[in-house]
Amino acid sequence: MRKENEVMKQILDFANSEDRVRAVMLNGSRVNPNAPKDIMQDYDIVFFITDIEDLSYKIDQSWISAFGELVIMQQNDFEDGAYIFLMQFKDGIRIDLSFQDIRRIEESVREDTLSKILLNKDDIELKLPRPNDSSHYVLKPSKKEFDELLNEAWWIQTYVAKGIWRDELPLAKYMFDVILMDCIRKLLSWYIGENHKWNVNVGKCGKWFKGYLSDEIYNDFISIYPTIDYEEMWQSLFRAGKFIRRIGEPLAEPLGYSYPIKDDINVTEYITKIKELPKDAKEFR
């Protein structure tokens, strides 16, 4: 596996050899002083280029071989004309290399506080703060955002319960694993944000939750993830409700919002009835 200095040299050597590449920026976890360091860290690189309308880098992709042998690559486009190559190499190195218009460099460096300029051929004057993850902090929710999330967290449980009762596993799993768990992760990120005065970055999809929660709360959270066994899914669903209440009620108070206890009680009672409903039931009692 290549060392960091080897990868950075390859990136800068390539940039220096390409006249269209006028500046290079590193961002993401490798700039974040608070991010855990390990061999799986990506290299998030931005090439600021002239003539963004010239698509030669996209049309002829032979240049990629300069960075190693690919496992797989994904290329995506952005609305502003920028584009990115997500490249996983066989030696374990991953480089996410985006190409942006050089005319947007000042705007780009302001968008992400985890940015470091590695190359500036034209000595463009740029004011970058010391790298920090403030632009990735959890944002305090508005009352509307809080109310909508809690409403969704309880509403979607009726879908999960119905899917289990009907033996519609793909539907039940999607509603639980994706929709409901996304709600819980968002709620938990707000809980952590409030406890850290909204100066905290919990990472993509809450990947750093473990470092910000007590062992008890974290273990309670991960116990919610269900299997494909319906009985275990029912137990996980009821644990999810208890967890939402455990996190949502104490969070609502300092925010000055109201926890939807009526929805909590009504939905819990409703899905309990579905669980107890015979599979051949002809009416709901």
Domain co-membership, 160 together with 194: yes
Q: How far apart are CA 125 and CA 138, in angstroms?
A: 30
Asked if residue 104 and residue 164 are part of one domain, the reply reads no
Q: Which long-range contacts (CB under 8 A, 24 or more apart) does 61-69 make?
A: 61/85, 63/14, 66/10, 66/14, 67/7, 67/10, 67/11, 67/14, 67/93, 67/95, 68/2, 68/93
| Among candidate residues 135, 168, 192, the one where a domain is terminated | 135
What is the mean pLDDT of the segment spanning 50-58?
A: 94
The string of pLDDT tens digits covering residues 6-42 is: 999 999 999 999 999 999 999 888 988 778 888 888 9
Give DSSP secondary structure letters for 19-84.
TTEEEEEEESTTT-TTSPP-TT--EEEEEEES-TT--HHHH-GGGGGGG--EEEEEEEE-TTS-EE
Q: Is 281 inside a domain boundary?
A: no
Q: Does an H or E element contain 268, and which?
A: helix 261-276
| One domain, residues 55 and 122 | yes
Question: Can you give the pLDDT at residue 6?
Answer: 95
**84, 76 Cβ separation under 8 angstroms:** yes
The answer on 49 and 143 residing in a single domain is: no
Residue 23 lies in domain: 4-135
Q: Is residue 113 domain-shared with residue 207, that is, in the same domain?
A: no
Tokens at residue 74, please? Answer: 């994904």
Which pLDDT score is estimated for 148?
Answer: 98
Token digits of residue 52:
């963004």
Question: Is there a domain that residue 110 lies in?
Answer: yes
Q: What mean pLDDT, rounded, does the chain reach?
A: 93
Q: Are residues 150 and 188 in the same domain?
A: yes
Domain at 68, CATH number: 3.30.460.10
Instruction: Express each pLDDT in 222-263 by its tens digit.
Output: 999 878 899 999 999 999 999 999 999 999 999 999 999 999
Indicate if 161 and 109 belong to the same structural domain.
no
pLDDT at 33: 77
Domain assignment present for 283: no
| Tokens encoding 268 | 């819990």
Place 1 in a pLDDT band, splitting at 50, 70 and 90: confident
pLDDT at residue 142, rounded to an integer: 97
What token pair was written down for 275?
């669980």
Q: Which of 198, 275, 208, 195 is nearest to 235 (CA)?
A: 275
pLDDT of residue 40: 87
pTM, whole model, 2 decimals? 0.80
> Are 213 and 192 spatial neighbours (Cβ–Cβ below 8 Å)?
yes
pLDDT digits (tens, 9 = 90+) for 135-153: 889 999 999 999 999 999 9
